[in-house]
Structure 1
Amino acid sequence: MTPLPVPVRDVRVRVRMNACCGPFALVVADFEPPGADGALEVVSAVSERRLPAEFLPALREGLLEGLGEVTAAVLITDGAFHEVDSSELGYRIAGREGGRAALVGAGLLPPREADALRWATWPGRPRPGRKRNRP
């Protein structure tokens, strides 16, 4: 396992389907290099009213998937849910996108990988690549 080399703060993921009711999730997190044990740590500093604990296991699963072989300490600094539209699926997607965003932000993935992250933003996020017509 590779530790996250540098902090990536203020990663925001807002999963929202536009066409109909669907998974909704909102998570803001700070990613830091892992602690002494080197394992993934996820700590929520958000009240239960803003982000119910029932969604944290799905968020953790998504983070594990998104980070792949990289370990990190993740502090959830904000979040939100919708009583009807929030589900484990939405938080799993949010975790996966947040983990991938942290990898791009830390330089472990190329900047072009940011184009595939539909719902994630972070300070310094690369702008979507322009397609140029070349002969």
Structure 2
Amino acid sequence: MTGLPVPVPDVRVRVQYVGACGPYAHIVAQFEPPGPDGGLELLSAVPEARLPAEYLPALREGLLEGLGGVACAVLITDGTFHEVDSSEFGYKIAGKQAGRAALIGAGLLPPAEAGALRWATWPGRLLPRARRLPPSGYSRRPG
């Protein structure tokens, strides 16, 4: 099993469907190279009132899937939940996206893979450029 070679700080994931009910999850995670035992180490520093422990097993499952066998230590430094829309499914999605983001941030996956991560951000992620509209009064049609 390989280990994460460098730290990847401030991986942020917010799973949220706009305008519809659906899974909601929000985490901020710090990824570090693994300890001597290897594997995935997961620790939450978020108070239970902000991120209930009942979602951590699903988050761990998603992280394992997203990391694809790469060992690391993960510290959850922030997170929130929604009383109605949060579910294990949402936190599994968040974990998977956070794991993939950490691999890209550490250089273990190509940056092009970032396009598949709808809800994740991390330092160094290049976001797609917004489509610029022409100034008002300007027309592209030949006149």
State the Cα distance separating 1:18 from its structure 2 match.
1.8
Verify the 8 A CA contact 1:7 1:33 in the aligned structure 2: yes
Alpha-carbon separation, structure 1, partners of 2:83 and 2:5 = 37
Alpha-carbon separation, structure 1, partners of 2:79 and 2:48 = 10
For residues 1-135 of structure 1, the aligned pairs below 5 Å read 1-128=1-128
- Partner of 1:70, secondary structure, is coil
Verify the 8 A CA contact 2:105 2:124 in the aligned structure 1: yes
Verify the 8 A CA contact 2:28 2:78 in the aligned structure 1: yes
State the Cα distance separating 1:2 from its structure 2 match.
0.6
Alpha-carbon separation, structure 1, partners of 2:20 and 2:115 = 24
State the Cα distance separating 1:69 from its structure 2 match.
1.6
What is the TM-score when the length of structure 1 is the normalising length?
A: 0.93
- Equivalent residues, number: 130
Q: Percent identity?
A: 74
State the Cα distance separating 1:39 from its structure 2 match.
1.4
Verify the 8 A CA contact 2:8 2:30 in the aligned structure 1: yes
CA RMSD of aligned residues (A): 1.2
State the Cα distance separating 1:129 from its structure 2 match.
8.0
Please identify which structure carries the higher strand content.
1
State the Cα distance separating 1:14 from its structure 2 match.
0.1
Alpha-carbon separation, structure 1, partners of 2:128 and 2:95 = 21
State the Cα distance separating 1:126 from its structure 2 match.
2.4
Give deviations 1:75-97, integer Å, cap 9, x for gaps.
00000000000000000000000
Verify the 8 A CA contact 2:11 2:122 in the aligned structure 1: yes
What is the TM-score when the length of structure 2 is the normalising length?
A: 0.88
Q: Which blocks of at least 5 consecutive residues in structure 1 are unaligned?
A: 131-135
- Partner of 2:79, secondary structure, is strand
